[in-house]
Structure 1
Amino acid sequence: MHKKIIRRTAVSTSHLPNNLPEVIKQIYATRGMQSSQELELTVARLQGMVEETALLGIDQACQLLHQALVDKKRIVIVGDFDADGATSTALMMDALSLFNSHNHDFIVPNRFEYGYGLTPEIVDIAAQQQAQMLITVDNGISCIAGVKRAKDLGMQVIVTDHHLPGHALPIADAIVNPNQHGCNFPSKSLAGVGVAFYLMLALRKYCREHNYFAAQGIGEPNIAQLLDLVALGTVADVVSLDANNRILVAQGLKRIRAGQTRPGIQALIEIANKNQQRLVASDFGFALGPRINAAGRLDDMSYGINCLLAKDLSSARVMAAELDDLNKTRREIEQGMQQEAERVLTSLNFDEVNLPSALSLFQADWHQGVIGIVAGRLKEKFHRPCIVFAKANEADNDPQNAEIKGSARSIPGLHIRDLLEHIDSQNPGLISKFGGHAMAAGLSIKQKDFAQFQQLFNTMAGQWLKPEDLDSIILSDGELDTELLTLEFAEQLREAGPWGQNFSEPLFDDTFTLVQQRIVGEKHLKIVVQKTAMNNVGIQSKQVFDGIAFNVDIKAWPNAQADQVHLAYRLDVNEFRGKRTVQLMIEDIRTI
């Protein structure tokens, strides 16, 4: 879809330190940075995090957990089958061991058998494992029936989650969720792994105050050693990088770069061919996270969790290689599904100009584990809210009674979970279950109801969205002076992060002369561009830069007629055979 490039409006930077380059100050200020304190992402800055006491329900959770540890109760952690769920589960497993528990384990639902969250069936499995306490991580807030089943069986239940609650809450013994009604915790964007980390911080304080460590004959655990998991899960779950989350991610990155990380993360970095000492936040989202997610998408997330829990590098490398193979298979399935989805849109006479307000697609043979990624890809390409459905089960007699599961991705301007809730309230029984966030959600419906849902989804989205919301926009930080197109400044931008959701990596736009162009890897455009620079004594010089644009339209590129091109790009560092050079990562390319 043709995108509009809009430059950010300059704002005051007087509240930021004078020793920063003006470009970086402007980048920070336009992303809402309020004070120089937000730049202090050092170890001491951990003290600047929001206090754990601000989380509603955390005192009650600590009291229950402390008593469970004292009584040596059987604790079972119930996770989720994505990277946030995997890191949350691994964090709880490791943390409870640090608190001297030897009687805990985890269950992560297989999405193909049980679906999402703490279901009654998962509770029954936990009961077979003699669970006395259940702790949910990255799920639970919508698991009304599962929590009731656990309580009926005499289990204690602590829910830790970050998803938005519905009208009813589960009857858990304690709920810790910054988004639950009445919680005054200001950082509403914590990932599930962030909530789990905060609970462990609070538990350490509670145990200290109740003389637990002395009674157990152990030292106080260093909870900071869990920050590598927090950073990975936070970025991989694409939650907003507010000031609090930036502290968590920066601290996790710092530990990983210094070699203070678990074997599983080290092995994932190796298999992804990343430099551990120069790791950046985006590597969590584009390199490590997808490999962990592949286990939950195609097989069993236990593989991903066990990799993160590996005690030595050799076993971690074996598991990381398995995850890498699963991720390659996931990519192949995803590419095939995306091509089929685009063919379906073409058959409906939809193109980038003639599109409905929202897209919803179903095909009986699509892979349930990959629908979320395909929905995201279609949302990016067409800039429309998108739901992709796959068959969840087979009905005995009538295929139309089979359940289908949808994964939704939205665009700014449409809160997808709220829209699903509105459709559900207006059409009782149409949606059997749903849940999620503003930008991503999941739901289940009957196959026979797909056409009705498809029409309702498009109609309601059209009513909720403003016309300007449907314009695909690239927000640019403007032109970057040619003298700043250097390796040194690219490094400075990297270190100015961590960058991520709602604290976006700097992006610039400018016109260049196109010198060379070729397709690599089937659909990526590798180019060399030239820019004329003026030095401080008025002498012109021509400088050339490498650039790469991924997944271009190979019908349009290479373009022998192109001489001048306008690029929207990120300034990046390319590492190849030990050599580091400046590279333009191209978000948008068009001829002039």
Structure 2
Amino acid sequence: MIRRRAVPGGEHALPATLHPVLRDILLARGVREAEALDLSLARMAPMKGLSGLDAAANRLADAIQSGQRIMVVGDFDADGATGTAVAVRALRAMGAAGVEFRVPNRFEFGYGLSTGLVDTLAESPPDVLLTVDSGICCHDGITRAAELGIDVIVTDHHLPGESLPPAFAIVNPNLSGDDFPSKALAGVGVVFYLAGALRARLRDSGWFGARRPEPNLGMLLDLVALGTVADVVPLDRNNRVLVEQGLRRIRAGQASPGVMALLRAGKRDYRNVSASDLGFAVGPRLNAAGRLEDMAVGIRCLLADDVEEARELAATLDGLNEQRRAMQATMQDSASAQVSAIIEQLGDEVPFSLCLHDPEWHQGIVGLVASRVKEATHRPVVAFAPEEEGSARLKGSARSIKGLHVRDVLAHVDARQPGLIDAFGGHAMAAGLSIAANRLDDFRAAFEASTRLFLADEPPRAERVTDGELAAADLNLDFARELHAMGPWGQRFPEPLFEGAFEVLDQRVVGGAHLKMVLRPLDGHEVIDAIAFGTLPEDLDDARRARFLYRLDVNHFRGQASAQLVIEHIVR
């Protein structure tokens, strides 16, 4: 189903000079004040109210001033990697003498600060351990760290459980009673705020001077932008400020060598970089390390100050990403076959949810498979892989649809059938879990029953939301640039999607799998280039005309800029 996004009426204070289409786009996304268009760093939400910030900053300041050892423990995704790099870079810039980092290998220790990971520090424990993008549910690991005399500072953005771990301090905007206005901060955003509070604490104590200059934390914003976009957190006003400021630094050539090298590996021009470039070109290359091997190589890339070292590490990550893509393609074929078999067996009675498994699947990639199947079927999906080869336990990754909080569904399953799920965690749209392999059918039935309950027995329906039709006169480079300038676009601040009917004047396949076209709107005379990724000529019902859902984009090629339609969907 295709639905046009509603534009609320009533008074607003957007500039009168704003293009009418842009005005409606902003109103439909809840922007009604001109002030909300200001994404300068001065508009970043103040630190006041962020839980645990003072206690965490004071402990880190004491550690720095007394020369104590600080260990940063991150997560194995892009948010955790960028957050770890922000923490390490900030601490070193503020004069910390002994800063190290660790990242849990997902195949050895699993997620977060586990007791197994803490035990590896037992022979020479740090004085302070700072978690990034994890820790809020790591009760056992934090308890073990306390036994070793380690003060643990948790920085996280995930929802807490029924009780909090026994940490020295917890910085998390989603704690009960927290007054910080932006609950959508990514893990990298949380640790960036802690860095700001720490700098203020050290400044007040007279720590900085001629021999130890106060650092400009703006140098970290490229990493903050990357982690925020890659973690697909909602782009509320505060996150839009952080991402926009990071993008501006990248476009000015002021990003870290690692980010620049990853952009180059993804064939993106840093001078025209957008949030989508971070999400689709840089993020996957960084995430590939955590999915297949060890995120430490990704963090080293982000920490590299030498350009050549950064390029070598980015090349390693690029190679891992190619390996990931090949493995994902094989797994995707297997998943599609399973879905086809389910549809053939059940006919019209397609289940409300899908639980897929293959003993040959890789646990680091099942989340990507679940996401693709969810997009294709508009069903919540859980994809399982063996914890390790021959294991009797399965690791699952869940992806959900709008209106269904998948972590709550898992909690409901757990409450109804205690012991069925060994462990789980996550948020509304994504979650992870583990179960015994011989309980897969039991889980599949329980997950389906809970999904039906949460959806009130209303089958999930695919819906595409557009911003309506564009006049032929607006299909030009100037308006494409205006749209681009209103970004960054992303989660819950979606990039404008338009619909329209076109004549297909020319078409050819490029890159073996993408359809390049020359189009002319039925109500216009000018032609415009278009590209439909993953589309072939036979996907068009009529080779001469078609109706599309598309984004209006700026295409940069050989130093020239032109307007281009990026086709998202062919309307049947």
Distance (whole Å) between structure 2 residues aligned to residue 477 and residue 276 of structure 1? 29
How big is each residue's C-alpha offset from its partner over 1:258-306, in whole Å with a ceiling of 9 and x where there is no partner? 1111111111111111111110011110000000000111111011100
How big is each residue's C-alpha offset from its partner over 1:46-73, in whole Å with a ceiling of 9 and x where there is no partner? 2322221211111111111111112211
SS at match of 1:52: coil
1:570 aligns with 2:551: yes
1:312 aligns with 2:306: yes
What are the within-5 Å matches in structure 2 for residues 358-437 of structure 1? 358-393=353-388, 402-437=392-427
Which of the residues 132, 143, 149 maps onto 2:144? 149
Cα displacement (A) at 1:556 = 4.7
Distance (whole Å) between structure 2 residues aligned to residue 483 and residue 47 of structure 1? 37
What are the within-5 Å matches in structure 2 for residues 1-80 of structure 1? 4-12=1-9, 14-42=12-40, 46-80=41-75
How big is each residue's C-alpha offset from its partner over 1:448-489, in whole Å with a ceiling of 9 and x where there is no partner? 111111111111111112566711111111111111100111
How big is each residue's C-alpha offset from its partner over 1:305-357, in whole Å with a ceiling of 9 and x where there is no partner? 00001111111111111111111110111111011011012222359965311
What are the within-5 Å matches in structure 2 for residues 116-515 of structure 1? 116-214=111-209, 217-349=211-343, 354-393=349-388, 402-466=392-456, 470-515=460-505
Whether the 8 Å contact between 1:412 and 1:469 is mirrored in structure 2 is no
1:588 aligns with 2:556: no
AA in 2 matched with 1:342: S
Cα displacement (A) at 1:115 = 0.7
Cα displacement (A) at 1:386 = 0.8
What TM-score, normalized to structure 2? 0.96
SS at match of 2:465: strand
How big is each residue's C-alpha offset from its partner over 1:554-579, in whole Å with a ceiling of 9 and x where there is no partner? 595254x4433111100012222223
Whether the 8 Å contact between 2:184 and 2:235 is mirrored in structure 1 is yes
What TM-score, normalized to structure 1? 0.93
1:527 aligns with 2:488: no
Distance (whole Å) between structure 2 residues aligned to residue 549 and residue 36 of structure 1? 35
Whether the 8 Å contact between 2:3 and 2:464 is mirrored in structure 1 is yes
Distance (whole Å) between structure 2 residues aligned to residue 188 and residue 283 of structure 1? 24
SS at match of 1:377: helix
Distance (whole Å) between structure 1 residues aligned to residue 106 and residue 325 of structure 2? 19
Cα displacement (A) at 1:391 = 0.6
How big is each residue's C-alpha offset from its partner over 1:213-235, in whole Å with a ceiling of 9 and x where there is no partner? 24x94122111111110000000
Which of the residues 553, 557, 561 maps onto 2:539? 557
Cα displacement (A) at 1:581 = 2.0
Whether the 8 Å contact between 1:388 and 1:406 is mirrored in structure 2 is yes
Question: 1:536 — aligned with what?
Answer: none
Whether the 8 Å contact between 1:298 and 1:330 is mirrored in structure 2 is yes
Distance (whole Å) between structure 2 residues aligned to residue 183 and residue 369 of structure 1? 33
Structure 1 residues 66 and 352, CA gap change in structure 2 (3 angstroms): farther
AA in 2 matched with 1:142: C
Distance (whole Å) between structure 1 residues aligned to residue 123 and residue 358 of structure 2? 37
SS at match of 1:77: strand
Which of the residues 101, 107, 129 maps onto 1:112? 107
Whether the 8 Å contact between 2:540 and 2:570 is mirrored in structure 1 is no
Whether the 8 Å contact between 1:518 and 1:558 is mirrored in structure 2 is no
AA in 2 matched with 1:30: A
Cα displacement (A) at 1:394 = 5.6
SS at match of 1:240: coil
Sequence identity (%): 49
AA in 2 matched with 1:557: D
Distance (whole Å) between structure 1 residues aligned to residue 123 and residue 552 of structure 2? 54
Distance (whole Å) between structure 1 residues aligned to residue 39 and residue 462 of structure 2? 33
AA in 2 matched with 1:347: A
State the aligned residue count. Answer: 570
Greater mean deviation of Cα atoms: 230-239 or 344-353 = 344-353
Whether the 8 Å contact between 1:142 and 1:166 is mirrored in structure 2 is yes
Which of the residues 93, 114, 129 maps onto 1:98? 93
Cα displacement (A) at 1:128 = 3.5
Distance (whole Å) between structure 2 residues aligned to residue 577 and residue 310 of structure 1? 30
AA in 2 matched with 1:18: A
SS at match of 2:21: helix
SS at match of 1:368: coil
Distance (whole Å) between structure 1 residues aligned to residue 382 and residue 60 of structure 2? 39
AA in 2 matched with 1:510: G
Whether the 8 Å contact between 1:110 and 1:301 is mirrored in structure 2 is yes
Whether the 8 Å contact between 1:76 and 1:126 is mirrored in structure 2 is no
Whether the 8 Å contact between 1:49 and 1:244 is mirrored in structure 2 is yes
Whether the 8 Å contact between 1:528 and 1:544 is mirrored in structure 2 is yes
Cα displacement (A) at 1:550 = 2.1
SS at match of 2:366: helix
How big is each residue's C-alpha offset from its partner over 1:53-109, in whole Å with a ceiling of 9 and x where there is no partner? 211111111111111112211111111110000000000010000110120100001
Question: 1:547 — aligned with what?
Answer: 530
Whether the 8 Å contact between 1:513 and 1:531 is mirrored in structure 2 is yes
Whether the 8 Å contact between 2:352 and 2:459 is mirrored in structure 1 is no
Distance (whole Å) between structure 1 residues aligned to residue 515 and residue 265 of structure 2? 25
Cα displacement (A) at 1:210 = 2.2
Distance (whole Å) between structure 1 residues aligned to residue 286 and residue 2 of structure 2? 34
SS at match of 1:286: helix
AA in 2 matched with 1:508: F
Cα displacement (A) at 1:429 = 1.3
SS at match of 1:480: coil
Cα displacement (A) at 1:524 = 2.5
Whether the 8 Å contact between 1:516 and 1:527 is mirrored in structure 2 is yes
AA in 2 matched with 1:471: R
Structure 1 residues 105 and 411, CA gap change in structure 2 (3 angstroms): same
Runs of 4+ in 1 over 4 A off after TM superposition: 350-354, 466-469
Question: 1:85 — aligned with what?
Answer: 80
